[in-house]
Structure 1
């Protein structure tokens, strides 16, 4: 293993984590050549680091010779998810108290969004999303809030791999329509889901900018109760909570 140190620590550790993140961004699987092109690192260096990660169970090499995220990362991810969820739980509870609706936290993982934490509404009729559930980016408020931070090329690559199937008659199913919508998301600072994933459900989401991961907060409820006016009223509070979470993560 390399022992040379860069400005931010042990260089080989920095590079290993860069490769893991690139693999995650590529959907969990990539070839050595793809990793070399994406990272700019020499192929022999990448090969040496990949062999170390494979030996430790953090990666596995498939018969095609491509590398994929390994089983040992599952336990690490589950532990990190639980800790991240407990860290954000007070903030979600605060949003539920203010809005009266269900609050969620989700993260972009590869080409999909994963819910990491939720505090349900106190109403008898409320939205429920299982923690750990993976959902598309194109039809969810959290997905749009997250990918709005990416370049157009990255968004096109995600939807090319994942597709844009219609979940309801309101779902955006064309990349051009999604990209135009993401411009609006960037301008207004929040994303919406107007019954695009599930009929009768309205959702709004804001990104946690400069946080420890690409994370977004969302509030969702039945559209008969969570009206557009109610949605717009909660956005400033959601942005305040997101800013506070980002500040705490940097402390």
Structure 2
């Protein structure tokens, strides 16, 4: 007998719940782990997973764990581009008011991916290609995103990725990173001070209520992006992230 509309909607909701649970678990899980997290019977989860695997939205690994499938990559890339376009007016407004490059980035696995940018009008400016992936621990947007997570989640990410140094100023210990994130939470924004690229300073803030952890940054040469700049920039950043939150709700 075919599912009723109500049952069909429940099945769709359960499928998306499973995909999000796999993502929350770091990308791969066992059937029993999913059953415990989803609070669904094993046969139901197994049936849904078989469908996802057959369509390419999930895959079964050699060790019998289940992981997200390759067909999700295309959906994510298109969604990121659309999300970036939605925020473009706010990024341009940020540049017009502060004169430095503005970026929007979201989390992508254990990295950040830049999904939109409005460049500074200055000849000497910070430039990051849209689509570029960078570390969470040594970028302003990455640290702003990490500041939303519990310390144990941060430790788990570092255990998987390590703390590769981009410059001599990059954070290279988990304790130093957690201390930096604590400061970010207290003041409401993160700072990348020569950590991703020598000569570049960045102030970043999370977008409240974003569908995935997201941050906006304003970046430029340290000669221009100094403490006086920060006093002007932080109130503007707060306004911009609220505007992006409202525009993407």
Instruction: Please report the TM-score for the alignment, with normalisation by the length of structure 2.
Output: 0.91
How many corresponding residue pairs? 248
Partner SS for 1:10: helix
- Do residues 24 (structure 1) and 23 (structure 2) align? yes
Q: Distance in 2 between matches of 1:80 and 1:39?
A: 25
Counting only pairs closer than 5 Å after superposition, residues 93-172 of structure 1 correspond to structure 2 as 93-172=92-171
Change (3 A) 1:86 1:13: same
- Do residues 11 (structure 1) and 44 (structure 2) align? no
Which blocks of at least 5 consecutive residues in structure 1 are unaligned? none
- Do residues 173 (structure 1) and 168 (structure 2) align? no
The farther-off stretch of 137-146 and 221-230 is: 221-230
Quote the RMSD (CA, aligned, Å): 2.1
Which blocks of at least 5 consecutive residues in structure 2 are unaligned? none
Q: Distance in 2 between matches of 1:198 and 1:32?
A: 43
In the alignment, which residue of structure 1 is the partner of 2:234?
A: 235
Q: CA deviation at 1:136?
A: 1.0
Q: CA deviation at 1:195?
A: 0.6
Q: CA deviation at 1:189?
A: 0.7
Partner SS for 1:113: strand
Partner SS for 2:196: coil
- Do residues 189 (structure 1) and 188 (structure 2) align? yes
Given that 2:113 and 2:133 are in contact with CA atoms closer than 8 Å, whether structure 1 keeps it comes out as yes
Instruction: Please report the TM-score for the alignment, with normalisation by the length of structure 1.
Output: 0.91
Q: Distance in 1 between matches of 2:179 and 2:4?
A: 47
Q: Distance in 2 between matches of 1:132 and 1:204?
A: 20
Given that 2:114 and 2:129 are in contact with CA atoms closer than 8 Å, whether structure 1 keeps it comes out as yes
Counting only pairs closer than 5 Å after superposition, residues 14-93 of structure 1 correspond to structure 2 as 14-93=13-92
